[in-house]
Structure 1
Amino acid sequence: MASSSVTTLAWGFLLGYLVLMIGLGYKGYRQTDSQDDYATARGGFGFLMLSLAYAATVASGSTFMGMPGMAYGMGFKVGYYAILYPVGAYIGMMIVARITKKVGDRFGSQSVPDFLGDRYQSPVLRVLAALVALFLLFYVMSQITAAGWLFDTILGVNYDVGIWLAGGLLLVYLTAGGTYADILTDGVQGAIMIAITALVAFMFVTGWGIEGGPVAVNAALPSQMQWDVHTSDQNATFASGWAIFLLLVAHIGFTALPHLGNKFFAIKSTQYMKKFMLASAVIGISLPLMFLGGIVGRAMGIQVQNPDAILPVLFMQTLPPVVAAFLSVAILSAIVSTADGLIIAISQIFANDLYRKTYVPMKDEQPDQSRIDQRALWISRISTVVVTVAAILAVRTPPEYLAVLLWVGIGGIIASYGGPYLVGTLREETSKTAAITAFVAGFLTFFVLHLGPRFGLYEGWFPYNQNPFAASGIGFMISCALTYVVSKFTEPLPEEHLNKVFSTRRSEESTGSDAHGTSGD
């Protein structure tokens, strides 16, 4: 529990943060006139603000609390996770970002499931992708849990109350401002997250609280946690070099997650796409250095009730109260920066993918587009509230490790989306049949390897039954392989449709130059 001075200061910083979020939420509300505005903020941001927002959303509360918590319990081997996950995630982003933006703008796609439905002319794939994306609720649960522990550790509020306060904070600006509010707030939070990461890296390099620098920090750890121990047959996540390799593979598909994919719609033009990808990758690759905070805390012998709380406790015990209070509230902002995007993405499953793009076309009557748009907007706002409350209720008993909880949800999404999204972007000839087959096979693979044992249906196979990263990586590879192989034996989409989807790319290939005539694309 924080000292009274830290608690008082933290409440002051939280109030200031709340006022800032309300202000940005109101600005987002002023820019939200339609369902498309709420869902995508289409063309509303330049590359720098969107880069900060994207990197902040990728990093999440798992990076700022879950990853230091894992390092506190497992040691330096968690560095493999910290290094490989952003490398994989940004490789995936570079594959799909441009085509998602172009096709999304051309077809009016409002989510990644919507994009897949438009890319393959398949309402079936859109619905399947939307239903699987509901597993993002586990991701939201992990963020709410992280926020609850922060309220408990820093602000002196019981965890049970803290999770409700965290949910209320999100709803203050999300229900009104939608994606505009999401990106505006995430951009500010991303800048704060960079500063926290720099401080943690400095603490490690200087051996904060331990004379002798990094070497002394390493020596203070138990032998099985030191930097020359790379694997452990008792640890499912780092059981072998193969399991570590699957960490990278799984994260290549990370960019398929709907709360990340919909960010691409918000950039002003593909003219800024290269700058956006470079800036977000540089920022995003640096943020996982947060795991070093868990190493420093363990080396100092700091005791915590829950490993995920190690970073704020480290700040409280080693920094002046005003700094510790500010940084702790800043970590809360990191958590919120992912939770808000997740909640918006899930709301679009109901408002866009299931209502506007599935239910409405099934009706025989001529639709009134204006009326449909307003209904979808209200569904979005109501769903935002329902999803937030559901996540809070689900984590009244907190999980052990946040990073593992969120992957229970997103592993199936990555495994199923992988082939249709990434291979379908690289290979124009990918067929609708291949996409659906690969989607189902990828999800079933993840279910058999991990979700089945997780739900207690059977024991499963080690390490996949305990390692969602490895199970997701296997499912991702199967999805990608099937997408390619089945396309070889099934009929491709009509050439007219492919011309519409890939028109800009084909034009660039035929002329040998950028269709925009600028090096900025």
Structure 2
Amino acid sequence: MILAIGIIYLLVILVIGLLSMRHQKDMDTFYTGGRRFGPWLVALAVSSTTMSGYGFIGLTGLVYEHGYAIFMIGIFATAGIFVSFLVLAKPMRRITQKFGALTIPDLLEVRYNSKAIRAITALAILGGAIGYQMAQYKALGNMLQTVLGVDYKLALFIGVAILTVYVVGGGMISAVWTDFIQMIVMVAGALIVFIGGMRMVGGMSQLNSELAGMNPDLVQAFHTTGPIGIFAFISYFFIYVIGHQGQPHVVSKFYMIKKLSMLKWACIIAAGTYGLTALLWFVGLYTKVMVNRGEMVAPASPDMVAPMFIENFFPPVIAGLIFAAVMAAIMSTSEAFLLVASSSIVRDIYQQIIKKGEKLPEKKELALSRWFTLAIIVLTFLLSLNPPDLVGWLGNASWGIFAASLVPVLSIGILWKRATRVAAIWSSALGFIFSIGLYILKVKGVYVPALDTGAIAMIISTVSLVGISLVTKHEASPIFEKTSKDKTAGEDPAAANFS
């Protein structure tokens, strides 16, 4: 029964991908869906890609290890959705419509009049996307390994094969529609698991009592010792509240909404549905209690917590639906990352830098986008056969890379006229270098800082942007210039200028 429901779910998203191929006519529809989606579609796309397999599988495993402290990531990420909508949604939608931008590096080149900033941010997006995609693939392999009862590598291959068809074929149209369906499944699955698991452990008071008996730190917002202390708490604020604005798979969804007036509803829907799906993380706490009671065998890896708990304690039909929800989280973010990664190569590096902005035939652009998407799928699949870290830590590191490389130059840059081209280049480059370099040193055990490596890199990047801007010459940017067309903003909100 579990297998049947899983297969039906995978076939449904496969069909959506195949049907969406008919609507892919150019780069705009492939990467932005033609900017024609309403608030529910955009909102659920934002919340589903924010959650991801990193959230459902990785963070559930980290909750199992560290307790309630990991929930701060969910609280901060929910706040981050509000902050991203408040700071970026309207300006990004207006600027990209006015200048025809399809990607974040597109927008940043217009803002700073710099091919260099386009190249750096495109490389940062590509690097972070590969790391995050490895987290998704590892989560996908772990989930299908349990559902199908096959070897991890075979399970990973099956999942990636299905993902390939509907992402390469359908582009952003299939991505947004599958996000919509998948988020509904995710919310339902999270509520079922939360309620069912809470009954199994005897309610919230009993759960907390048993957790505190094992280790008082498990019921604290941050620990007195270990890696989840006060500095981790501070780091999560930087990475998930402020850093949410730099997540390209999420904020690129702002390009797609049909009308600016719809954004306020999309914000509320996105934050609310994300908060509901985070209830699945209680599985980590339930598993801790069940293992301690002797009612469940301890998982071999924290990444197997969610699959094992669901398989052990839920009827096959319910378990099948929940497994579909978890696969939904993984698939939705995988498709988003594959699209932003391929756009970084095709549009931002190949077309705009190598070809110097030369206009390519639309069919050639679309074909290149699909081929490079396929190449990234193959590369990340090979890397995911033997990933270097747990899903949770891989995802956290990638969030840090995006936050450090993109947040200052994007969020500060479109709000502060004084930010200069030289400062943006240094800021993004230093954020990218430090976020990757410090993470490698941490994994190797060479240097393990108190603050998260991504938070440190983002602080360096922000200070660089502000400091260098103040000592370099101010430069005008077209995004702050008004034109006669801007006067029509009331009639056509999509054409409004950001001021």
Both structures adopt the same fold (TM-score exceeding 0.5): yes
| 1:403 partner amino acid | G
Q: Distance in 1 between matches of 2:485 and 2:287?
A: 53
Superposition deviation, residue 514 in structure 1: 11
Match of 1:492 among 442, 464, 474: 474
Match of 1:417 among 396, 403, 406: 406
Q: Distance in 2 between matches of 1:228 and 1:430?
A: 40
Equivalence for 2:332: 337
SS in 2 for 1:77: helix
Q: Is the 8 A contact 2:111 2:414 kept in 1?
A: no
Q: Is the 8 A contact 2:246 2:406 kept in 1?
A: yes
Q: CA offsets per residue over residues 287-315 of structure 1, 9 Å max, x none? A: 22221111011111132222122222222
> Structure 1 residues 58-67 or 391-400, which shifts more?
391-400
Distance 1:89 1:443, change over 3 A: farther
Q: Distance in 1 between matches of 2:319 and 2:479?
A: 56
Q: Distance in 1 between matches of 2:391 and 2:79?
A: 21
> Structure 1 residues 265-274 or 493-502, which shifts more?
493-502
Superposition deviation, residue 191 in structure 1: 0.9
Superposition deviation, residue 462 in structure 1: 3.0
Q: Does 2:173 correspond to 1:183? A: no
> Structure 1 residues 181-190 or 444-453, which shifts more?
444-453
Superposition deviation, residue 434 in structure 1: 1.9
The Cα RMSD (Å) is: 2.5
Distance 1:399 1:307, change over 3 A: farther
Equivalence for 1:311: 306
Larger relative contact order (C-alpha < 8 A, sep ≥ 6)?
2
Q: Is the 8 A contact 1:70 1:401 kept in 2?
A: no
Equivalence for 2:385: 396
Q: CA offsets per residue over residues 173-195 of structure 1, 9 Å max, x none? A: 11111111111111110111111
Match of 2:193 among 188, 200, 207: 200
Q: Residues 241-260 of structure 1 correspond to what in structure 2 (within 5 A)?
A: 241-251=230-240, 252-260=242-250
| 1:379 partner amino acid | L
Q: CA offsets per residue over residues 244-301 of structure 1, 9 Å max, x none? A: 0220111222232222222111111222122212221222233222211110111111
Superposition deviation, residue 352 in structure 1: 0.6
Superposition deviation, residue 427 in structure 1: 1.3
Q: Distance in 1 between matches of 2:316 and 2:132?
A: 31
| 1:319 partner amino acid | F
Q: Distance in 1 between matches of 2:257 and 2:201?
A: 45
Q: Residues 195-234 of structure 1 correspond to what in structure 2 (within 5 A)?
A: 195-203=188-196, 207-211=198-202, 213-221=203-211, 222-228=214-220, 230-234=222-226
Q: CA offsets per residue over residues 422-463 of structure 1, 9 Å max, x none? A: 111221332212211221232333245333343x4x712433
Distance 1:335 1:177, change over 3 A: same
Q: Residues 56-71 of structure 1 correspond to what in structure 2 (within 5 A)?
A: 56-71=48-63
Equivalence for 1:299: 289
Q: Is the 8 A contact 2:342 2:373 kept in 1?
A: yes
SS in 1 for 2:300: coil
Equivalence for 2:260: 270
Equivalence for 1:481: 463
Q: Distance in 2 between matches of 1:101 and 1:201?
A: 36
Q: Distance in 1 between matches of 2:484 and 2:426?
A: 22
Q: CA offsets per residue over residues 323-376 of structure 1, 9 Å max, x none? A: 1122112211111010011011111111111122112227xxxx4x352x3222
Q: Is the 8 A contact 2:259 2:493 kept in 1?
A: no
Superposition deviation, residue 196 in structure 1: 1.7
Q: Distance in 2 between matches of 1:489 and 1:173?
A: 49
Q: Is the 8 A contact 1:46 1:268 kept in 2?
A: yes
Superposition deviation, residue 154 in structure 1: 1.9
Q: CA offsets per residue over residues 204-234 of structure 1, 9 Å max, x none? A: 5xx33233x1121123232245314731422
Distance 1:229 1:409, change over 3 A: closer
Superposition deviation, residue 496 in structure 1: 5.1
Q: CA offsets per residue over residues 477-515 of structure 1, 9 Å max, x none? A: 3322332332223233326552159996x999xxxx999
Q: Distance in 2 between matches of 1:496 and 1:391?
A: 37
> Structure 1 residues 490-499 or 42-51, which shifts more?
490-499
Q: CA offsets per residue over residues 371-416 of structure 1, 9 Å max, x none? A: 2x32221111011111111111112124552110123334222112
Q: CA offsets per residue over residues 58-117 of structure 1, 9 Å max, x none? A: 100011111111111112222222222332343134211211111111112121122211
Distance 1:255 1:165, change over 3 A: farther
Q: Distance in 2 between matches of 1:450 and 1:494?
A: 36
- In structure 2, the gaps of 5 or more residues are none
Superposition deviation, residue 153 in structure 1: 1.3
Match of 1:10 among 2, 5, 20: 2
| 1:208 partner amino acid | R
More helix by share: 2
Equivalence for 1:167: 160
Q: Distance in 1 between matches of 2:222 and 2:382?
A: 38
Distance 1:407 1:503, change over 3 A: farther
TM-score by length of 1: 0.87
Q: Distance in 2 between matches of 1:485 and 1:37?
A: 39
Equivalence for 1:90: 82
Distance 1:95 1:281, change over 3 A: same
Q: Does 2:142 correspond to 1:149? A: yes
| 1:131 partner amino acid | L
Distance 1:87 1:114, change over 3 A: same
> Structure 1 residues 381-390 or 253-262, which shifts more?
253-262
Q: Is the 8 A contact 2:53 2:139 kept in 1?
A: yes
SS in 1 for 2:355: helix
> Structure 1 residues 380-389 or 438-447, which shifts more?
438-447
| 2:382 partner amino acid | L
Q: Distance in 2 between matches of 1:389 and 1:64?
A: 24
Q: Is the 8 A contact 2:53 2:329 kept in 1?
A: yes
Superposition deviation, residue 420 in structure 1: 0.6
Distance 1:262 1:22, change over 3 A: same
Equivalence for 1:459: 446
Q: Residues 303-452 of structure 1 correspond to what in structure 2 (within 5 A)?
A: 303-361=298-356, 367=358, 369=359, 371=361, 373-452=362-441
TM-score by length of 2: 0.91
| 1:67 partner amino acid | L
Equivalence for 2:116: 124
Among all aligned residue pairs of Structure 1 and Structure 2, give the percentage whose two residues are the same amino acid: 23
Q: Distance in 1 between matches of 2:368 and 2:261?
A: 33
Equivalence for 1:138: 131
Q: Distance in 1 between matches of 2:464 and 2:16?
A: 44
Q: Is the 8 A contact 1:52 1:283 kept in 2?
A: yes
Q: Distance in 1 between matches of 2:54 and 2:105?
A: 24
| 1:463 partner amino acid | A
Equivalence for 1:5: none
